[in-house]
Amino acid sequence: MDLTYPPQYEAFRRRVRAWLRKNLPSRPRGLAKLAFDDPRRIERAKQWQRKLYEAGYVAMSWPKEYGGQGADVLTQAIVDEELVRAQAPPLIGQMGIQMVGPTLIQFGTEEQKRRFLPRILTAEEIWCQGYSEPNAGSDLASLQTRAELVGDEFIVNGQKIWTSNAQFADWMFCLVRTDPHAPKHHGISYLLIDMKSPGISVRPLIQMTGERGFNEVWFENVRVPRSHLVGELHQGWQVANATLLHERNMLGAATTTQQLFAALVRLAKLCTRQGRSAVEDPVVRQRLAALAMRVEAMRYHAYRQLTDTILGRPRGIAASVNKLVSTELNHDITVCALNLLGSYATQTSESKFAVDGGRWIREFMFTLGMIIGGGTSEIQKNIIGERGLGLPREPRALPE
């Protein structure tokens, strides 16, 4: 057991920290009032990612030939830690960096890697995920969006839903049914689709937070070149599962939880109860400490997984445990914040009475969305139960 970093890594950490101190974007008030998908906000977010990339701090572990630096996981972990410590804004290209990028590195053709990976890093191209459909949610493999191979092109028809960022994304990684006669897991393919293709229409859905975060996407005879197929034809389910694993790790990042908990403690110091800081109230202290135990457990659990990754040990169902535990914990943190705020809890971001800019009620709803997205808690529990513990599967439904 050794929680120290070798000197060259500590030196690297100091460089990252100094760079962040100098370059972290200020948060102009006007920007907070802009809609989630306002082009000005997106442009600024792209600029931030570009700046971070040029400094060399985005996806450092990717291979050099695709714009990464071939750095080890420890280096990447240090950057992640420092970004949290500096409370840096999240990266707009996150789905590219954390989901489709690693999937392409694993399954993509050489041409696909050279074409797509560098532009993911620089935020030149933003990605969205075309997985869920109106009738394929938790039962993702029952998806119906059809892609027919005609000559060298796929012709895509169908509908996707809950597609985050589709309204401004340049590309979509998408699951389509290429063989309608095969058993459901065996007729699926994984396509990369240009969002500017003729025949695609996007309609934003207003989330319960009031934001236009996700969308419906329709495909009407959309042409996709065969060269944009990832992995083998009809074998997209394996590729999709690799991406899902990356998604679970992204949603279950311990660093996000630490940031949220630090904000909760700041709030508790700010709020008052009976004329004193709420953090002096025994009930509040009990609640905060109970959360601290869960937050810290996830912090050290992440260290343990980092070590396992370095040693090349199999990760098993760790990603599902991370996703389940972290998203539930994040939500519980926001519930604690709402309790501190009392009736201020429900003030909107437009209200001049709102505390923390109405952040907590928004986070409360948003974190619930994260419990559902990326495979609900219930789906993660099925995975843990069946693949982790070897419990028998639910009997299949009778054919209709």
**397 is an interface residue for another protein by CB under 8 A:** no
Binding range to another protein, per CB under 8 A, among 129-137, 156-164, 190-198, 317-325: 317-325
Backbone angles phi, psi at 172, to 5 degrees: -125, 135
Considering the complex, state which of residue 136 and residue 288 has its C-beta at the smaller distance from another protein.
288
Residue corresponding to tokens 């070897």: 390
Site for another protein in 364-383 (CB under 8 A): 378, 380-382
**Residue 169 is encoded by which pair of tokens?**
């994304």
Backbone angles phi, psi at 162, to 5 degrees: 60, 30
Q: Where are the alpha helices (DSSP H) in 192-281?
A: 236-251, 254-270
**398 is an interface residue for another protein by CB under 8 A:** no
Site for another protein in 115-144 (CB under 8 A): none
Active site residue 394: no
Binding range to another protein, per CB under 8 A, among 86-94, 124-132, 174-182, 384-392: 384-392
Binding range to another protein, per CB under 8 A, among 151-159, 160-168, 181-189, 279-287: 279-287
Question: Helices 359-372 and 318-341 meet at what angle, rounded to 10?
Answer: 150
Chain centroid, CA 297 distance in Å: 21
CB of 78 to another protein, least distance (A): 9
**183 is an interface residue for another protein by CB under 8 A:** no
CB of 61 to another protein, least distance (A): 15
Helix, strand, or coil (residue 291): helix
Structure letter (DSSP) for residue 144: -
**296 is an interface residue for another protein by CB under 8 A:** yes
∠ CA 203-204-210 to the nearest 5 degrees? 155
Considering the complex, state which of residue 205 and residue 265 has its C-beta at the smaller distance from another protein.
265
CB of 310 to another protein, least distance (A): 8
Considering the complex, state which of residue 227 and residue 286 has its C-beta at the smaller distance from another protein.
286
Q: Pick the binder of another protein from 25, 56, 357, 385 (CB under 8 A).
A: 385
**Residue 222 is encoded by which pair of tokens?**
């959309």
Considering the complex, state which of residue 217 and residue 260 has its C-beta at the smaller distance from another protein.
260
Structure letter (DSSP) for residue 199: T
Site for another protein in 51-90 (CB under 8 A): 74
Backbone angles phi, psi at 267, to 5 degrees: -65, -45
Binding range to another protein, per CB under 8 A, among 43-51, 234-242, 286-294, 340-348: 286-294
**330 is an interface residue for another protein by CB under 8 A:** no
**280 is an interface residue for another protein by CB under 8 A:** yes
Beta bridge partners of 133: 136
**279 is an interface residue for another protein by CB under 8 A:** yes
Q: How far apart are CA 135 and CA 337, in angstroms?
A: 36
CB of 376 to another protein, least distance (A): 11
Burial group, residue 274, by CB count within 10 angstroms (0-12, 13-18, 19+)? exposed
Binding range to another protein, per CB under 8 A, among 146-154, 237-245, 352-360, 385-393: 385-393
**38 is an interface residue for another protein by CB under 8 A:** no
Q: How far apart are CA 297 and CA 388, in angstroms?
A: 20
Residues in Cβ contact with 231 at an 8 Å cutoff, skipping those fewer than 6 apart = 107, 189, 190, 238, 239
# chain residues binding another protein, by CB under 8 A: 53
Parallel, antiparallel or unpaired: strands 272-273 and 276-277: antiparallel
**Residue 153 is encoded by which pair of tokens?**
């092109």
Site for another protein in 217-276 (CB under 8 A): 265, 268-269
**386 is an interface residue for another protein by CB under 8 A:** yes
Catalytic residue among 82, 133, 247, 363: 247
Q: Which of 362, 87, 359, 367 is nearest to 251 (CA)?
A: 367
Burial group, residue 381, by CB count within 10 angstroms (0-12, 13-18, 19+)? middle
Confirm if 348 and 354 have CB atoms less than 8 A apart: yes
Q: Pick the binder of another protein from 166, 321, 337, 345 (CB under 8 A).
A: 321
- Known catalytic residues are 247
* Contact set with another protein (CB under 8 A): 1-5, 9, 74, 265, 268-269, 279-280, 282, 285-286, 288-290, 292-294, 296-298, 300-301, 303-304, 306-308, 310-311, 317-318, 321, 324-325, 378, 380-382, 384-386, 388-395
